[in-house]
Each structure stands twice: as C-alpha cells, then as structure tokens.
Structure 1
Amino acid sequence: MNAREVTVVGAGTFDALELGLLQALQLDGRAPLSRIARRLGTSERTVGRRYSRLRTLGLRVVGQPVPARLGMTRWLLRIHCAPDSAGSVAQALARRADTSWISLASGGTEVYCALTPSTPYERDVLLLERLPRTPRLVGVRAHCLLHLFTGVTSTWYADGIPFGPVHKGEGGEDDGSKDEGGVRVPAFGLPEDPEPLALDATDRALLAELAKDGRAGLPELATAISRSPSSIQRHLERLTTEGALGFSVDFAPRHLGYDLMTHLWLRVAPGEVPAVGRALADHPEIAFAAATTGSHNLVASGIFRSSHDLGRYLDHRIGPLPGIQAVETAPILREVKRLTTST
C-alpha cells in the first residue's frame, strides 16, 4: 500500500498516513507526533490533524501495568449465564476496577472477562463468594494465564504500512537497540523470573493517571500527581525499562473494516505450547495469545474482516501448526468493556 491508497470502511476513509500513524502508536503509544511525522515523511501539523480526527472516532492510548512484573496474576473468566442475565452480569463486572476486556459470546450466554486482582483475597471474594451467589448464573470457569506471548494487547491491527529495516546506532554500528516506527527501544533483558517490582505512592499514582490517558504530557502528569516533571520522568522511565508498564492502543476494529472478533481456545500437545504460542503472536490477525490452565492450554483473540477470513485462517494458519489437538471458536457478539472503560 502506498501513501495515495485509501481504505474505505464503515467509519469513513483512512489513507496510508492515518494507518501509519496507528501503527506508530501501536509500536510506542507515547511517541511524540514530531517523531512519527519524520518517520512517515510528513509535517507534524499534518500528523496532529490526523491524530485529532482519529481521536474523534474513539482512538485512545492507555497505560497498563504488566501484572506478571508486579507480582500479580491475570485470570480469564468464562461465565455461563441464563440468556436473559448475561448482560447484567457483564455490566456488574465492568464496574470493577480490576476487570477489562469484557465481552458477550456464545449466543449471548457466555461472558468473557479478564481479571487482575491486586490481592489473592480480592480474587477469592469474587470467585468463591460473589459469583456463586449471583442469580441466573449457570457456571464459572476461571483460567489462570501462565505466559503471555503477545505484548500489552491491542484491539486492532493496521496492515500494509511497512516501516522499513531496523536502524543502526548513531555511529552506524548496531548498538543492540531497535528502532520501531521511529521509536528507539533500548536493548535490555529481564531475568526469566524477576522479583516483583516494588511500587511507591508516586508509581501507583502515575499508573492511575496513565490508565486515563497514556499520552498525557509530563507537565500534566506532574500537576495531577503533585510531583515535579523531572520526578515523573524518572518514575516513567523506571516503570517502562523495568517492564512494569506498557501502552495499549484502543481503536475499534470495525473502523478499519474488521467486523468479526473471535476467542480461540486451543488444546495443544504440552511440548508444542511454546512454539504454537509464539507462532500465534506472529500472526497479524491475533491481538492476544497466552498459555493458560484448563482443558484448553492456549487462548487467543483474533480479529477478522468476515467469517470467510476466519475460516481461511483456521484452515491455513492454525491447521498446519504442530501439536494442535482441538480448536474451539467463540465469536464475540458485543464488547461491554474495553481496557478500563465500559462501552
């Protein structure tokens, strides 16, 4: 796709510049518009106008803590309800601060919910007390996520806008860092099982503010948290480089012509789980992929233009993967909560 080509979908017309902007934000949600403009070969003013237009269509960049790095565990709940109660159950879950990605699937009788409780006590209260007492609830399956193969999840992908090869360091030598979409990503490694990162009051306040707006500027964050901009910068860099903070770009897939979102539950031979998980993470159709407990040991979320595309994906991308024993698909009928905000 070149800069003149356009994509026409339900929300309007998107050209390659806007798709490139979406991709750049997906690579680094806090990338300055000036940097994105340079990489896309246009002016900062033009990128600013396009960014403002996308914002009117619901574009958000949200800062999200990385649960595993903070000693927290993410759960995925599959809640089976009577047909006339799924909506109310989903809305009740959406009001909780520790839930995200709530959707209705399976003919409207199943609620999917990502849960990241801050303490085991809060998890137990929900799973062992509140949900069992909920009227018209048929059953609950709670799956503990063991390993995330994708990064901080996004709800869309914009394909066809290549950013070119990885750039070298300033001196022309490979310095071990990557340049993705004009964004320098420092080369650093974390221990395989690092100790949970301890957070202070400023860290927690910063995470709360970034959950509202991941692109909030340093002066704005400093005012909200009552700290100096230099202090905010230090805390932001620490959370990011330590792998405790990521940024998710929220933009409804339907705006880009992707009208079918689907949960995929895969049963994979145990020795093949890592390879299949990495393969799924490399597929542009997959926004989320993780190893999990339960009878299906891999779960993924895919985004497709149509049921025909889903069928082709299952036949040509999932079918050839090694060790696949079973696949269950559950198309999403309605999203109730995306990230931290109810729809």
Structure 2
Amino acid sequence: MDPLTLDALDRQLVHALQVDGRVGFGRLAEVLDASDRTLNRRYRRLLAAGVLRVVGVPVARALGQADWLVRMRCLPHAAPEIGAVLAADPDTSWVTVLSGGAEIACMVRAPADSLVLRSLPRSSRIGSVTAQRLLRPVAGADGWPGRLGALSAEQVRALRETGPGEPGPDDRPLFDDEDRTLLPILARDGRAGWSALARATGWSPAAVARRVEQLRRGGALVLEVDVEPALFGAPCGAMLWLTVRPSALAGAGRALAAHPDIAFAAVTTGSTNLVAFVACSGDDALYDDVLLPLGDVDGVDHVDLSPMSEMVSRSVASARPLGRPRGR
C-alpha cells in the first residue's frame, strides 16, 4: 500500500478545520473551490487512516480547574504501562513517553489549589515526579504554525465569518452539570452531528446546537485538529523544558512563537518555567534549527530536551498536532 501523503487540497482542508472545526462541507466547498463530496471524501479518508481528527476540548478554567503538566522519571521500559494507567483517567488530557521509555509527561485537569500529586498512581518503578501549572500559552495557541499557511488571508476571513462568532449577553461562559454529558462525545468527535448529540443528551438538536455554539463563543469549548506531524514533514518530536529569567520570559516566548518548529509553548510554574513542544524533520533539525538558536535567546539559562518516544493517549490537549500535546 502506498504511504499516505497530503496534497494541496488536503492541507487546505486541515487548515480550514483549524479555523472552524465544525464548518460544514458545503461552506468548505465554497471557500476552497472544491466539491463538498470531494472534501467529505478527503476528510473521511484521513479520519479512517487515523491521522486526522477534530476534538472538542473543554477549557480548564471554564470547569473551575487548571491544566497541570506532570513529569515522571521511571525505570526503563516501565513508562508505557504506567502511561496506560494515567490515560485511563478522564481528567488526563494526553500522555506521552519520553527519553526512550525513561520518562512520562502528561497533562491533567485539576483544581488550581489541588494537591495533584496525591491523585497520581504510585509505583516503585516511578522515581521523581513534578507537577507544574500552566499559566499562559505563548506559542501555538491557535494551532501549530507548521500545518497552517495553506489558506489565504481572504479564505481564513471567509471561514471565520460563519464560525461561532463573538459571545452574546445570553452566553454562559462556564459549564454546568447538564453540559458534562456533551464532553465525552465531543472529546471523541468534535464534529459529531447535532442528532447524535441530541440522542446522547436527551435534548433537542436545536438545543444542543445552541449550547455548543454558546460554549464556543464564550471560550469554554474549543475545537482542535489533531493531525499526524509526519504528514507535514515533521516526524521528530521532543519536549523542551527551559529555565528563563523572569524578566526575559516575554521575549523568550516571542522567540518560540516565531519558530516554525515549535508546535506549542507555555509559561509554567516551577524552576523550568517555559515548556515547549517541538515537531521537526529529524535530529539534525532538532540540533541545528532548534537547540542552537536557543543559545542566542536572552535570559535562557538552562534547556532540558526530552525526545518523544511514543504517544500513549491523545485526548481530549493540545495545542495541537496528533502525537504532540495540546495545552490550553
């Protein structure tokens, strides 16, 4: 079987879904100048291949929670089993194995004042564990730049015109108990039809549509596109843990945001106060294009690099490409 590749129309489709994850194929056809049947077929092909999906992600603060980045060092080859335990927790957004099986990183949602470490699995195979709260995204919050750029500015504007729009006076920004029935379905398929959502919730299709759009307008629910980075020439993934002087955080964040290989970056609590997710072409690019330029960024005192070995679970988190974490 020939390896799956993306042509220009596929890339436009991915970019368009990043702009509006629930845009209809009819509207896509108008903007992309292609038939709705062709676009539907392209989407289904990528979906069936497991390299693309749209997911609905609840924003942690809208749940009265915060996003926590947890890093565990463990015995060699123990990480996949421990990661599977973490992935089974519904509050875990994503889990990835790092450093050839000697580390795990995961994102969990928990109250901002929570003792997160108490809720994590305990095992003699786990060594050190740290938990850092995500304070603010500084790069990739609107999607990995490496998969954007297929659409013109005019096409992006046209898609946004038919998106959820700005919040209105009746939009409830926070989730309530009734909304929680929507989350597991949208986490699996952010494009689930109104009828399917209505059957799962017991609401009418019109009521479901109205509430989902309210949550999107209010910023409580975001639709994110997971796509395999290798299809964009970026099969190599890594996490960067940076220690940056507080006075230089803003500048370091801007430097990461301008880098095409940075899928997502955020300021966190802890001594490594800036974390970044890299998607690039290979080890040479990781060294030449990512690590070396970081040496010229003012205020970066220390960089710890952890290659990504395996994605145990994708939720949900991330900001972002399939196989690379999202961080809202």
Smaller-chain TM-score range?
0.7 to 0.9
Q: Which runs of 4+ in 1 moved over 6 A?
A: none
2:147 partner SS: coil
What is the CA-CA distance between 1:240 and the residue it aligns to?
0.8
Equivalent residue in structure 2 for 1:38, among 30, 35, 60: 30
The CA distance in 2 between the partners of 1:305 and 1:181, in whole Å, is: 31
> 1:261 is matched with which residue: 230, 237, 243?
237
CA contact (8 A) 2:94 2:315 kept: yes
CA, structure 1 residues 271+153, in 2 after alignment: closer, same or farther (shift >3 Å)?
same
What residue in structure 1 maps to residue 214 of structure 2? Answer: 238
Alignment pair present for 1:213 and 2:189: yes
Q: Could you tell me whether the CA contact under 8 Å between 1:24 and 1:182 is conserved in 2? A: no
- Report the alpha carbon displacement of residue 142 of structure 1 after superposing the two structures with TM: 0.9
What residue is the counterpart of 2:326 in the other structure? none
Change (3 A) 1:156 1:323: closer
8 Å Cα contact 2:92/2:107 also seen in 1: yes
1:186 to 161, 165, 182: 165
SS at match of 1:149: strand
1:259, 1:272 → 2: CA distance? 31
One of 80, 88, 95 as aligned partner of 1:95: 88
Q: Which residue in 1 is equivalent to 2:15?
A: 23
The structural deviation recorded for 1:179 is 4.4
| Structure 1 residue ranges without an equivalent (≥5) | 1-9, 168-177, 190-195
Select which of 274, 277, 285 maps to 1:309. Answer: 285
Q: Name the CA shift for 1:312/1:69 in 2 (closer, same or farther; >3 Å).
A: farther
Match of 2:47 in 1: 55
Deviation at 1:23, TM superposition (A): 1.0
Structure of larger gyration radius: 1
Q: CA deviation at 1:64?
A: 0.4
Does the 8 A contact of 1:257 with 1:305 survive in 2?
yes
2:260 and 2:215 mapped to 1: Cα distance? 27
Structure 2 unpaired stretches of 5+ = 324-328
- Closer/same/farther in 2, CA of residues 84 and 306 from structure 1, 3 Å limit: closer
**Which amino acid in structure 2 is aligned with residue 328 of structure 1?**
D
C-alpha spacing 1:200/1:182, structure 2 compared with 1 (3 Å): closer
Which residue number corresponds to residue 127 of structure 1?
A: 117
AA of the residue aligned to 2:195 = P
Identity in percent = 38
Give the drift of 1:314: 2.0
**CA 1:284/1:222 → structure 2, altered by over 3 Å: closer, same or farther?**
farther
Residues 246-284 of structure 1, C-alpha deviations (whole Å, 9 max, x = no match): 012122222333210110111222122133224423433
Alpha-carbon distance between aligned partners in 2 of 1:182 and 1:46, rounded to the nearest angstrom: 23
Q: How far off its partner does 1:202 sit?
A: 2.7
The correspondence for 1:299, drawn from 269, 275, 284, is: 275
Counterpart pick for 2:78 among 80, 85, 88: 85
My pick for the range that moved more, 27-36 or 151-160, is 151-160
> TM-score, with normalisation over the residues of structure 2?
0.85
Distance in 1 of aligned mates of 2:159 and 2:301 = 36
Q: How big is each residue's C-alpha offset from its partner over 1:162-198, in whole Å with a ceiling of 9 and x where there is no partner?
A: 323478xxxxxxxxxx545775463569xxxxxx944
Shift of 1:31: 1.3
CA RMSD between the two structures: 2.9
